[in-house]
Structures are given as C-alpha cells and as structure tokens.
Structure 1
C-alpha cells in the first residue's frame, strides 16, 4: 500500500484552491461553495490534515466501542408489557425502556400503583435477561420505584445496568415548575443517589436531559450548552447537600435526542463528551472517576404525521449518527410514533435498523468510527468551542436555574426556534413527505392511540407537592405540525361536506416549462391536501375547455412559460371564468415583466419558488373552506 501511495505526488491545499478557482470561472467562492449550519458555522467544500492541524482532538473521553439496542414498553397492563419486553429481547434488543409516568392524576405507560406491584413487575423483568440494560422513565415518583426495583435486583443477585430517567430540571424546563418545592425535590434526588450508590449496581439514579431542547427547536450548540448547564446545576446544588462531585457524576445518565442533520449530529455527541470531561475536571473529579453515559433516542421533532413511512429513512440516518457519535444505548422511535407507541411491525422495523447497522455495517466493531475525518474533527471542535462559550455565559448569569427563572434560556431558544419555523414554512428547510413531495391522496392519517389513564389519586402522593419556583415553560413542537394543521382542516372539511378544494392544472405551451410547473403545482397544493386534477397537457386551450367546465375546480393553475402567459390569459381568462365563475386563476411562475398586465387580465395569484409556502396555503385554506 505504501508503495502504491508513493506513486501519487502529494497535493497541497494551495493546489486544490487553484483548481477550484479555475473551475469557478470567476464566480464567488464563498457564495458558491461555502454554506452555514443553523448555528452559523461556515462549512468549506473540503478539509485536509492542514485544516485541523491546531485542533486534533483524539478519542472522545469514555467513547464506547459498542452500544445497546433499546426497545420501549409502555402498555398500561403490566403483564402485557412484560410479554412485549420478552418478545423484544428475544428479537435482538439488549435493553428495555419502561415508561411509567405519573403526573398528578394521570398515568402514561405501565400502570404500577403500589410497591408490591413494582416488585412483582421488576422480578418478571429481571428474569428476562440479566445482561439487559433498563431505562425507567418514572418522573417525580422515582424513589418509590427505585427502592422496590433495586430490592428485586438484590434478591435476584444479578448485576444490572441502566438508569432511572428522573430529571427535575427538565421538568422545570417543559412544565415551568418542579414536581415539589425546590428543597423537597433536591432532597429526594439526594436520597435517590444514595439509594443507587448503596445498591452497588451500575444503575444510575437520575438523568440530565438534552432531548427537550431538541424538541423545542433549539440548535445543536444550545443543546450541548444547556445540557451541560443543567448538569453543573445538579453538581452545585447536590454538593451543597453533602454529596461528593464524584458520587453525583457517577449517577448521571445523559439523555440526548439525535436529529437527521447527519455530520453535525455526530459532532454534537463527540463534542459533548469532551466538554463533560472538562466540566468534571473543573469540579475536581479525578480522571479515573470521570465517566459519561449517554442514552440516545431518535428525534420526534422532525417526524411526519402524513406519509409516516418517510420517518423510517430519517430514523435510520439518525441512528447511524448517534452510534458513530458515541452513544451507549439507543432507542429508535417507530415510524408511527406521532400517533402511537408503535405496533409490532413499526417496532420491528425500528429495531432491525439498529441490528443491520451492527451485523451488516459492523459499527459495533470499531471504536470511534469517525476518527480521522478532518471534517468531523472540525465540526467537533467548532461545536465544542461555541457551546463552552455559551455555557460560560449561563454560568455568569448565575447558572441554569437562575437564567431560566430570568427567562434568558427561553428567549435564546425562542429566537432560534422562530428562525427554524420560518425556514420550514418558507421551504428553505424542506420536510420530505410534508412540504416536499407530499402524497396528496392520503386522506386518513393514522389516528392517535396514545392513552393517558385518568385516576382518582396518584399512587405516590408523598413525592408530589406545590412548586415554590414558577417560570415560563419552554414549548415543544414538531417541525411539520403547521402544515399538518392545514391539511387536517381540509380533511375535517371534507368529512363535513364531502368535498375538498380542487385544483385544475391547465398545462399547455412550452413542453419543458409546462412539465416542470405541473410538477411544482402538484407538490405546492398537495402540501395542503387539495384535490389535484391533472388531465395532462393540452395542445391548445380549446381542448381544455370541456374538461375544465366539468371539473368544478376552485383554482385553475395555468402552467406554461413566462413568454406565453400574457397571451394565454388575455385570450382565455374571461372564457374560463365564465365556465367557473367562482374559481380563481393562478399562474405557476412569476413573469415579472407582465405582472400588472396579468392581474388586470384576471390573474388572482402567482405561485413560484420564492412564494411563502405556508402563508400562501393558509390564505387559500381560509378562503376556500369559508
């Protein structure tokens, strides 16, 4: 191999730049080849060893050589949940996430109402596979579950790994308050850490969640910095209660969500490990005691309600990014997670995505697979540097809790979320299956089967109280929800009236332009679920008139070339509007030299690549449904 490489002369970055300048033929280098991430990080077209000479970062601390495949059980009946867990483990899962969340007087997931029920459930769970990892999402009543579960672990004399996913700071973030007074909340967390420590297991007492920031529309730098800030807040408060920094850090499980922005997501996970190691050093934790356990989940933020099978593609990309980035455990959400907890098929597909990555891509055989990628090293360094800077700003504001109470965290997230929402609405950030290539004939999306059981009393009232800290909650949302709301309005209208808005595509003239604009129009109005009537191209407008008259269309979209539009409209608009007096005439394109003349001749609107997709469709939905 070395002999082969010697036959090729090395090419310096300067040589590459000369070739690029030549190929650009005078075009602006930065405008043509450099793009910016959501966080404003400039990405160049290529990276070499010289590009990262001063930022070689090596192996992220605590980087695992393999990961655990996790499935979730959340059926309310505990016996059914155990049977599900057994099926998943027999099918290749290496761990189970159990959801059993009590919130006031409602429960989501497995209903366990007493200590005896928890012990019975725990015993059955541990019998399935003693080598499995378990992640138990129990909310504010974790201590009751913890004592019972760890008692079962001791009785069965097995070593266990995993974590309780209790996280009071995340509860404050998304609910605007703690589950109890601040003093009581952190006193319970202090006790929880001591319970886990005394059990001599590898089962961690609590989690630090960055997933909520992802669901709120924060960018990756914010996810890293805010998650670190929460961890720092826990270390600060709990050390004041008498626990050592090492004890606290050893009981933390980081809960992160992975999005579909592939390379930046890999860098996010790697950067986080470096910064958490740096923060542990700051708190005086010895090198041998430092650790970083990351439980990851694929994103719910960018999942579709409509055309849900597209979510399979997203989640597979996300799974690969999390694995290469260095998660310890991974839950791939089923493609129908928007409306359900998944059925046998969607769960199997989600699980098999990970099994394929392990057994056919061999990702579990390589430690830090992205090592040696100059591009990923560059991103890792940039995300780490900027996230640490933001973390220091939060610390200077008094820490996460103080900054959150002062609404500074919320304002930072809202600013970024508004930009994201605007980019999605205007299709600068297209969503496959929703704003890009929608399926306009899909009229019956999956109905929600997520159940929240109402109960008269919470089973563990001693853990729930009145918070003495109130703040503005961070709203979570999904990227596609604005467009889905439009489409659901159309579906509801169709159920009530047996009709929905109809768009007639009148394609004529220049072959290439009419074809391109027909496709554009179909996608444009298909986003709102309008009925698209496309009889094919017409050699003349006379051929279209009979079909048009019988179409009962609400919108006529003329698809041709800019040069032909004025003549077509002046000669035919009056005829078309007499045939369909209530219909509106729309031009696909924006022939800027003739806009005013076209409007005077009867054109009501123009749709084109620079149209504000959501605002335009919202106006049409409001107009046609009323």
Structure 2
C-alpha cells in the first residue's frame, strides 16, 4: 500500500517567521510583555516551544536519570497506589473506615497519628494537646493492632505519619504483626516539623538517633519499609516555589543521609529507605515537570554519594495541596484537587493522596472522602491513565520546563549546602526569607486578581450556604481513649541505654509487646540530651484566607446591622453601554461581601443621583464607556455629590489623562480598574465603613 505524506505542499515556518507575524498582530505592544509569562520559579515561559528548546535527549523510562519514571513499565507494570487519610480519632473508627475504603478501591493505607501521639505522649497524659486532633490516637500496641485488624498488611503499602513517635509506633506495628514483611514507609521528618512548628520537643541529635534506630532496623529486617521521610508540604503551604520546595527537600534528605552514614550505615542501605512527600499544586505543567525534575536531581545526588542504580530511584508520594483550597464555594476544591491529581499521575508519582474538598472547613465526612478516593479511581479506571508510559515525555514544553526546574533546584540545593546545610539555613532564616519573598509575590497576584481563585477572589457566590460542621466529640473521645489506655498499658521494665540502631529498635519491639506505651518508649529514647531545636517557623497559610477574612467580616456586619456594606453602580445609558464595566465592578466588590446595587441603567444624571440617595450606599461607581465619559462624568459626579455630599464617587476604568483633572473638579474621588489592588481597596472601604 502506498504511504502518502500529507500536507507536503505546506512549508514548515521557522520560529522567526512565526514571531514576526505575532508581533504584527500585537500592533506595537511589547512581545516579551504580552507573550511570555514569568513563574514563581523565575522561569520565563515562552508562547511556543520547538525541538531546539530541549537541551538533551531524555532517557528511557526506568533508565538513566529516571526523569521518565523509575520503572520501565510505568503504571502498566504497577499503577500508582491510591492512599487516602481516614480522619478517624479512635482505632476502632479507623479500622471500620480503612476496611470500607480498601473494599471500595483504595490500594494503600495511610495512618496519620494525632498530635499527642506524634509528640510521644499517651492519650491520658497531662498535656495541652488534644486527643484525636489531626489524626488517630494510639498509645499501646493494641491500638495499632485494632486499627489494622483485618487488613492484609503484607499486601498493601502502609504509610505511617507518627512524627517523633515513629520508632515507638513502628515497634508496635512490627510487634502486632510479627513475621509480616511490610512495604510503604514511616514518614519521620523532624527537620520539616521544625520548619513548620518552629521547634522540636528534643534536640536534632536526639531526633537523628531515633531515625537511626528505625532506619538501621528496617534496612536489616524490613527493607521495603521506608524509615526516613522528607515532607515538603510545609514549604509549599507557605507559598514556596517548586524550586524552593524541592531544594529544601533535597537538602533535608542529604542531611539525614549524612547522619545515617556517620552512624555506620551504607548509602545503598539508606537511600532506598527515603520516602518523599511532595505537594501537588494548581499550576498543571509546573507540577508535572516538578515531579519529573525531582527524580533526575535525586538520581544525581545519590550518584554523588556513590549509590547504585536502585538507590538512585526516588520514591515519591504526593498530596494535593491545602494552599489553594477555600472555605467559600468549597465544592470548587473538588475541581482543583482533580487537576492536581491529574498532574501527579502525568508526572509519575508512586503513591498519591487526594484531599477531601471540605478538609479546610471541617473534619471530612464520608461523602467528601468517597469523592476524593473516586477521583483517583476514575483517573485509573475510566481515563485509562495507566495505559501510557510517561505521556508527557517528548513534549518540547514539558521537557524544557523539566530541565529548567531541575537546574534551578540543583542551584538552590547547592546554595543551602553552602549555607551549612538545611538546619543551619533554617536557623539563620535563609529559607524562611526566600519562601516569604516568593509568597509575597504570589499574594500580589492574588490581591490584584491576576491569579484567580474561583469563588473567593473572583466569581463570589454570596447566596451560598456554609458547610455544616458536626459537633465536636473531643471530650467523649478523650474520655474513651483515657479509659482504654489506662486498662491496656503495662508498667514494663526495659532499658535502652547503651543501645542504638537495630538493637534499640529490637528492645522497643520487645517492650511494646509486653504493654509498654508510646510515652514510656519515647521517654527512654530521649536520653541524649542537648538543647531543643528552635527556628523561626514558616508562615503556613492558605493563599486567599485574607480575602475570606474580609468576607466573614461583611457577613458578621450584616448579621449585626441587618444590612451588608453597600456599593452603588451609577450605570449610565443602555445595557450595552454600561454592562461590561458594571459586571467587572460587581465582581470586584462581591468578593468582599458587598451588597452591590446594580440598577438597569439611567438616562440622565438626576435619576442616577436620586437612586443613589435612596440606596443607603456611601460609595458610588460611575459605569459606562471611555467614549461617553468626557460628557457624562462631570455632570454625573456633580449630581451624585450633590445628592450625598459625604459620599465617595469613583469611576469604573482608568480616566483619560486629559480629562482627569476636570473629573476630579466635578467630584470624582478615584477610579477602579483591572490595575487596582482588589484586596487593599476592599480592606480600605470596609475599614471606612466600620466593618473591620
């Protein structure tokens, strides 16, 4: 059969030819300003990419620097693990939820312990930390056994987040399921906890000794079960760029590797035990490229340590970020999490957690947890994303962006190393300052609405009903846990002094099997002394929570006074004349909770002034077109001011320079346009009205 080449008559234009045509269409506007975009990573995105933009040929999947994945078969060989949090305070509650989830498509167990347990305290100890806060309470081995009762623990990954109590919880897991071989990992990351909280309940050296006990034991007895966690979420949730997130994460991992090597382990024992927990944000292509770049940088780092090919494989678990999630219009969070999960799959993570849409409002319910889990199942089963290996591979844009992120990540990692390593960089405030500067840049974009967060800084839904929050069961849970622990805990005589590494871990397993509690084990572990670690903590926040604060203040003002703060639109002329700007102004103020008075349109200044006087609003915005403003604004502004002398009269749009003086003379106090800072304007107006 003859093979015909289609479109041979069409010549392929060069980039220079395309750019020339594009510049002609821009009619004098700067090409770089209109057609390129600078990311928080300092990368300038081009409008079009060619083969020449790919600096080197990427390796094959499962080979080289693993940029295209650590397995040659991709997800066809092994689909990513669906790992979801259970949001359960009690072991029995966790067990019921995890069994149900595993029967409905989840393929991995994610065990997140509460704050009290992570601090190494029993549920009935005297502490300000609340039982069941942000996780499951576990104080004795029986709690772990109950939580995982009926789970085939040797057939699914078990990912445990137990903070400083990780060795004690590991001992309970191994004691409860003696003889089982585990996969997954303990995400023990004291440095990230230090960055997030500003302090640790122990010295860094003590934390590293705890890590060594778990790592040395796992290397010898549970080689598929990670023991060293690198959690980059605190950085991303503080507004860090992808480069800063990865750079800080790699510096943390290197800090741990050196500490384990100093304690006698080998690189090919340590590296396979490292588990990364990366964030998945809303910038789709950046997140894809971040994951691909991370694998190549990690391969290079472990190669510098002399690690073998298997050790150079990066194990990545990813979680959709809290940074861009919102309290208002919360169902949009489902859509955000879906695109984030999609980027994680295309990037090639080994395990993923999709956060429920309501986690920033309340403890997620069964519905939101089911939707989050099914998001991943749909991607696997209905979108068939396991059928293509590295689908982004070969894209000129993605390959170029991956290379740039990798280069900048290596440079930032090297900069941290030059500062003395991750702990020294945190102590000096270097990393906090870097992340803060990036976060400030992001905030400006949100404040001016150049970055849109649907439902919060744009497209507000003022008639939405807030999600209902269930009554707190704190007292009930605390009482039940205290009674359970006091009945199960045993006073076990054991000694960890002089023991380290696997030997110490074996002693812990023996102790917890006899009934020793988390607190008893952790107290025995903390004998190394030293000053408790302290640094300036990261500013962890959500991107637009400051907009949410304005909206809440307006709602409280309405509840107290019976009326929301108002703004009046002096819509001049027919709909076609005023609609575009009136719609913009309405959207501008509704995100601050304003009641926008939006009339059908006025034929003259007097009728507009009369309606303004009757509206009860202090602020009025004249809405029409640039062509009509020279004639309209002076007469309308005077009429509005005459009707309400203490009012503020604004113009929708930027006034022409040649007319601005006459507008001000007539009574115009200012203008609002796409160049206005939305947040600062709303804050100022609400302050003047006594709302905040």
- The interval holding the TM-score normalised by the smaller chain is over 0.9
Residues 449, 678 of structure 2: 8 Å contact kept: yes
Q: Paired residue for 2:313? A: 291
For residue 226 of structure 1, report the CA deviation from its aligned partner: 1.1
Instruction: Quote the residue 1:586 is aligned against.
Output: 650
Partner of 1:163: 185
Alpha-carbon separation, structure 2, partners of 1:138 and 1:29 = 52
**Residues in 2 aligned to 1:206 and 1:23: alpha-carbon distance in whole angstroms:** 51
Cα distance change, pair 498–622 in 1 and its aligned pair in 2 (3 A): same
1:212 aligns with 2:220: no
Q: How far off its partner does 1:300 sit?
A: 0.6
Q: Is the 8 A contact 1:332 1:350 kept in 2?
A: yes
Secondary structure of residue in 1 paired with 2:98: helix
User: Aligned pair 1:402/2:424, yes or no?
Assistant: yes
CA 1:31/1:3 → structure 2, altered by over 3 Å: closer, same or farther? farther
User: For residues 414-436 of structure 1, what are the alpha-carbon distances to aligned partners after superposition, in whole Å with 9 as ceiling and x for unaligned?
Assistant: 22111111222122222222112
Which of 154, 165, 168 in structure 2 is aligned with 1:141? 165
Where structure 2 has 5 or more consecutive residues not aligned to the other structure, the ranges are: 62-66, 120-126, 483-516
Give me the whole-angstrom Cα distance separating, in 1, the residues matched to 2:647 and 2:42.
45
Q: 1:374 offset after TM fit, Å?
A: 1.4
Structure 1 residues 69, 111: CA separation in 2 closer, same or farther (over 3 Å shift)? closer
Distance in 2 (alpha carbons) for counterparts of 1:452 and 1:356: 35
User: Residues 596 and 455 of structure 1: is their aligned pair in 2 closer, same or farther, counting only changes over 3 Å?
Assistant: farther
Identify if the C-alpha distance between structure 1 residues 279 and 188 changes in structure 2 by more than 3 Å, giving closer, same or farther: same
Once residues 353 and 189 of structure 1 are traced to their aligned partners in structure 2, the CA distance between those partners, rounded to angstroms, is: 34
Q: How does 1:349-368 map to 2 (within 5 A)?
A: 349-368=371-390
Three-state SS of the structure 1 residue aligned to 2:601 is coil
2:326–2:544 CA contact under 8 A, matched in 1: yes
Shift of the 262–243 alpha-carbon distance from structure 1 to 2, 3 Å rule, reads: same
Corresponding position of 2:115: 102
Alignment of 1:536-575 (within 5 A): 536-544=600-608, 547-575=611-639
The superposition leaves residues 491-550 of structure 1 with CA deviations (integer Å, 9 ceiling, x where unpaired) of 222222222201222211264441101110111001101112223223344554554443
Residue in 2 that maps onto 1:348: 370
Cα distance between partner residues in 2 of 1:30 and 1:582: 45
* 1:114 equivalent in alignment to 2:139: yes
Counterpart residue number, 1:39: 41
8 Å CA contact 1:174–1:476 kept in 2: the answer is yes
Matched, 1:62 2:70: yes
1:155-304 mapped onto 2 (5 Å cutoff): 157=180, 159-200=181-222, 202-304=224-326
Q: CA deviation at 1:94?
A: 1.1
Q: Give the Cα–Cα distance (whole angstroms) in 1 for the partners of residues 471 and 9 of structure 2.
A: 62
- Counterpart contact for 2:142–2:176, Cα < 8 Å: no
Q: CA deviation at 1:116?
A: 3.4
Would the aligned equivalents of 2:95 and 2:148 in 1 still touch at CA under 8 Å?
A: no
Distance change in 2, residues 1:521/1:447 (3 Å)? farther
Match of 2:492 in 1: none
Structure 1 position 431 matched with structure 2 position 453: yes
Deviation at 1:3, TM superposition (A): 2.6
User: Match of 1:135, SS?
Assistant: strand
Q: Does 1:22 align with 2:47?
A: no
Aligned to 2:178: 154
The answer as to whether partners of 1:67 and 1:328 remain within 8 angstroms in 2 is yes
247-256 or 268-277, larger mean C-alpha shift:
247-256
Structure 1 residues 552 and 36, CA gap change in structure 2 (3 angstroms): same
Distance 2:471 2:217 in 1: 36
Match of 2:673 in 1: 608
Contact 1:139 1:165 in 2 (8 A): yes
Where structure 1 has 5 or more consecutive residues not aligned to the other structure, the ranges are none
Question: Please, what is the CA RMSD of the aligned residues?
Answer: 2.7
Shift of the 393–57 alpha-carbon distance from structure 1 to 2, 3 Å rule, reads: farther
Match of 1:522 among 557, 577, 586: 586
Instruction: Say if 1:553 and 1:580, in contact at 8 Å, map to a contact too.
Output: no
Shift of 1:370: 1.0
Structure 1 residue aligned with 2:149: 124
Distance 1:54 1:142, change over 3 A: closer
Aligned-residue offset at 1:555: 2.1
For 2:663, the equivalent position in structure 1 comes to 598
**What SS class does the counterpart of residue 504 from structure 1 fall into?**
strand
Matched, 1:371 2:371: no
Per the alignment, residue 595 of structure 2 pairs with 531
- Pairwise CA distance, 1:11: 5.3
Distance verdict in 2 for CA 1:5–1:261, change over 3 Å: farther
The range that moved more, 430-439 or 112-121, is 112-121
* Aligned-partner Cα distance in 1 for 2:467–2:586: 20
Paired residues, what number?
A: 622
Alignment of 1:49-88 (within 5 A): 49-52=51-54, 54-59=56-61, 60=67, 61-63=69-71, 64-65=74-75, 66-88=79-101
Q: Is the contact between residue 336 and residue 342 of structure 1 (CA under 8 Å) also seen in structure 2?
A: yes
Write out per-residue CA displacement over residues 565-606 of structure 1, whole angstroms, 9 at most, x where no aligned residue. 454444344544455555432221221333232223222331
SS of match in other structure, 1:625? coil
Q: State the alpha-carbon separation in 2 of the partners of residues 443 and 583 from structure 1.
A: 32
CA distance in 2, matches of 1:325, 1:437: 31
Contact in 2 for aligned 1:147/1:195 (Cα 8 Å): no
State the SS of the aligned residue for 1:287.
Answer: coil
Contact 1:303-1:311 at 8 Å conserved across structures: yes
CA–CA distance in structure 2, aligned partners of residues 362 and 76 of structure 1: 35
Q: In 1, distance between residues paired with 2:230 and 2:458?
A: 35
1:368 is displaced (CA, Å) by 1.3
Residue 344 of structure 1: how far off its partner (Å): 2.0
Deviations 1:187-240 (A, max 9, x none): 111011123234436221231011111111111111111111111000111211
Give the distance between the partners of 1:2 and 1:463, measured in 2 at CA.
75
Distance change in 2, residues 1:440/1:541 (3 Å): farther
Q: 2:543 and 2:473 mapped to 1: Cα distance?
A: 23
Q: Give CA deviations for 1:328-379 in whole Å, capped at 9, x if unaligned.
A: 1111111112112322222222222212211122111222121121111111
